[in-house]
């Protein structure tokens, strides 16, 4: 038996062990069909390894060593909620623990009838039927983990804005993991629909409930799908602050109709292994996509962002700025692809990846990538790697700042370019403190 075959068998066994844990009887017919399809996709796949180009730098072998059990429904105290809940979303938040909806911790009293905020099970049947068809829509090559998520799909967080609805306050979706003494996995799912000319501001946050189990490995395999109809605007901030024992694998898939604007702010702080596939498809003319990313990692963390933006029609805009602050022996991976085919004339696309390395052992693998076949476009891309400059630190010290404070200030300044793009004040403040305290010790 050749080694290749043995690996394949091993990962297949691994995947089927995960699949077996999903209950098979509790869903509607529509959902069942969807799940069955996803399940057969998973069954015919193998886990990617380092020979797969898209997983070259992100080694999943540690994941394979774990025997994950589906996380049960868990209780979380309101005290823990305080750590994650934002001031601005006190009355506009939904909370999921281990992927299960928690109505007790949720509070949507400030949301009016034009926006549905809740779980999939609570959504009216007409819209449920409509969305279930959509859930099969997935783009790109990274189907496996999304399909694994769909295979176990029972419920999801849903935000649905009706046409012309303008949500004046931000809405928070909080996905908490409540790890136990043994290794668990959970599969949060989020569905966001912004109908024609609606306007949404969303914070999607991932965190861990309590520190006491912070050392037990757990897996969060999450999928978020966002649909923007014509002329809709969605401002979406995604914060990942799981425990350092977490494997966090995520997909954010965005579909944009004409004249829509999507802004995604990705903030990644926690997890030992983080892989985020962002896939945006522009399906109409004059569509705008802004992707901002900030990754702050230390210790032996690995944070990998793979993004793919497909433009398909004229007058599209993409602005992407992805920044990483890497210390200790951590490693950041960035692979950003923007596709500009022949039909996407008059595209305006920029992509920049900036990295700040704080230690000699910190590593970055970056691959900004524009594939352009259209000939009348404005496109630019690049990547930079820098360190804290001695002269910058000296300048600040010569103004009385201690060395640590000078470094803090410079790191904060690097992060501020992304953090300042977040419109929610309390989150901005929290993140500013968080970035600094994490990187300098």
User: Which residues pair with residue 282 across a beta bridge?
Assistant: 256
- Does position 410 interact with another protein (CB under 8 A)? The reply is yes
Contacts with another protein in 169-188 (CB under 8 A)? Answer: none
- Does position 416 interact with another protein (CB under 8 A)? The reply is yes
- The answer to whether the CB of 364 falls within 8 A of the CB of 327 is no
- Does position 402 interact with another protein (CB under 8 A)? The reply is yes
- Does position 324 interact with another protein (CB under 8 A)? The reply is no
Q: Minimum Å distance from CB 406 to another protein?
A: 8
Give 171's contacts (C-beta < 8 A, 6+ positions apart). Answer: 89, 92, 93, 94, 111, 115, 117, 159, 200, 201, 202, 203
Phi, psi of 33 (to 5 degrees): -60, -45
CA dist 253 and 273 (Å) reads: 20
CA dist 344 and 364 (Å) reads: 31
Give 85's contacts (C-beta < 8 A, 6+ positions apart). Answer: 93, 172, 174
Of 37 and 402, the one with the shorter C-beta distance to another protein is: 402
Q: Minimum Å distance from CB 440 to another protein?
A: 15
Which one among 2, 13, 79, 398 touches another protein, defined by CB under 8 A? 398
Contacts with another protein in 366-395 (CB under 8 A)? Answer: 390-392, 394-395
Q: Minimum Å distance from CB 360 to another protein?
A: 18
First to last CA, the chain: 50
- Does position 78 interact with another protein (CB under 8 A)? The reply is no
CA dist 243 and 253 (Å) reads: 24
- Does position 428 interact with another protein (CB under 8 A)? The reply is no
Q: Minimum Å distance from CB 398 to another protein?
A: 5
Of 167 and 415, the one with the shorter C-beta distance to another protein is: 415
Give the total of residues touching another protein (CB under 8 A).
Answer: 24
Q: Minimum Å distance from CB 396 to another protein?
A: 8
Which one among 191, 207, 414, 435 touches another protein, defined by CB under 8 A? 414
- Does position 436 interact with another protein (CB under 8 A)? The reply is no
> Which three-class secondary structure string do you get for 84-143?
HCCHHHCCCEEEEECCEECCCCCECCCCCCCEEEEEHHHCCHHHHHHHHHHCCCCCCCCC
Among the listed ranges 167-175, 306-314, 353-361, 403-411, the one in contact with another protein (CB under 8 A) is 403-411
- The answer to whether the CB of 26 falls within 8 A of the CB of 154 is yes
- Does position 413 interact with another protein (CB under 8 A)? The reply is yes
- Does position 412 interact with another protein (CB under 8 A)? The reply is yes
Give 170's contacts (C-beta < 8 A, 6+ positions apart). Answer: 86, 88, 89, 92, 201, 202, 203, 423, 424
Of 70 and 401, the one with the shorter C-beta distance to another protein is: 401
Of 36 and 420, the one with the shorter C-beta distance to another protein is: 420
Q: Minimum Å distance from CB 405 to another protein?
A: 7
Q: Exposure string (b/e) for 401-420, b if CB count within 10 Å is 16 or more? A: eeeeebbbebbbebbeebbe
Q: Quick one: CA dihedral 8, 13, 14, 19, positive or negative?
A: positive
Which one among 20, 29, 51, 399 touches another protein, defined by CB under 8 A? 399
Among the listed ranges 131-139, 177-185, 374-382, 409-417, the one in contact with another protein (CB under 8 A) is 409-417
Which one among 258, 314, 405, 438 touches another protein, defined by CB under 8 A? 405
Of 84 and 414, the one with the shorter C-beta distance to another protein is: 414
> Site residues (CB under 8 A) for another protein?
390-392, 394-403, 405-406, 409-410, 412-417, 420
């Amino acid at each position: 038996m050749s080694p290749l075959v043995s690996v394949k068998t091993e990962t297949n066994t691994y995947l089927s062990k995960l699949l077996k844990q999903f209950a098979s009887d509790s869903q509607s017919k529509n959902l069942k069909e969807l799940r069955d399809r996803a399940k057969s996709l998973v069954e015919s796949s193998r886990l990617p390894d380092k020979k797969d180009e898209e997983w070259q730098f992100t080694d999943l072998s540690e994941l394979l060593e774990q025997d994950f059990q589906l996380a049960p429904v868990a209780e979380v105290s309101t005290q823990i909620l305080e750590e994650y809940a934002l001031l601005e979303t006190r009355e506009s938040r939904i909370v999921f623990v281990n992927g299960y909806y928690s109505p007790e911790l949720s509070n949507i009293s400030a949301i009016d009838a034009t926006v549905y905020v809740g779980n999939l099970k609570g959504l009216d049947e007409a819209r449920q039927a409509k969305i279930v068809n959509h859930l099969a829509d997935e783009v790109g090559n990274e189907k496996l983990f999304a399909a694994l998520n769909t295979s176990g799909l029972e419920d999801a967080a849903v935000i649905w804005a009706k046409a012309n609805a303008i949500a004046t306050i931000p809405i928070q979706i909080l996905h908490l993991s409540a790890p136990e003494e043994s290794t668990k996995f959970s599969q949060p799912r989020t569905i966001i629909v912004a109908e024609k000319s609606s306007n949404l501001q969303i914070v999607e946050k991932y965190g861990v409930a309590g520190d006491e189990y912070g050392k037990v490995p757990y897996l969060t395999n999450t999928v978020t799908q966002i649909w923007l109809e014509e002329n809709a605007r969605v401002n979406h901030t995604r914060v990942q602050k799981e425990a350092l024992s977490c494997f966090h694998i995520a997909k954010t898939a965005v579909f944009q109709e004409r004249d829509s604007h999507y802004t995604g702010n990705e903030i990644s702080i926690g997890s030992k292994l983080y892989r985020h596939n962002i896939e945006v498809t522009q399906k109409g003319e004059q569509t705008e996509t802004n992707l901002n990313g900030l990754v702050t990692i230390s210790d032996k963390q690995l944070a990998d962002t793979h993004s793919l933006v497909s433009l398909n029609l004229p007058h599209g805009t993409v602005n992407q700025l992805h920044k990483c602050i890497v210390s200790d022996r951590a490693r950041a991976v960035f692979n950003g692809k923007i596709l500009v085919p022949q039909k996407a004339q008059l595209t305006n696309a920029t992509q920049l990846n900036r990295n700040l390395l704080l230690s000699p052992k910190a590593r970055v693998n970056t691959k900004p990538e524009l594939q352009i076949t259209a000939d009348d476009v404005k496109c630019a891309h690049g990547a930079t790697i820098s360190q804290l400059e001695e002269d910058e630190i000296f300048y600040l010290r010569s103004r009385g700042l201690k060395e640590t404070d000078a470094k803090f200030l410079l790191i904060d300044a690097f992060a501020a370019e992304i953090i300042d793009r977040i419109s929610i004040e309390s989150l901005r403040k929290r993140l500013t403190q968080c970035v600094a305290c994490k990187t300098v010790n």
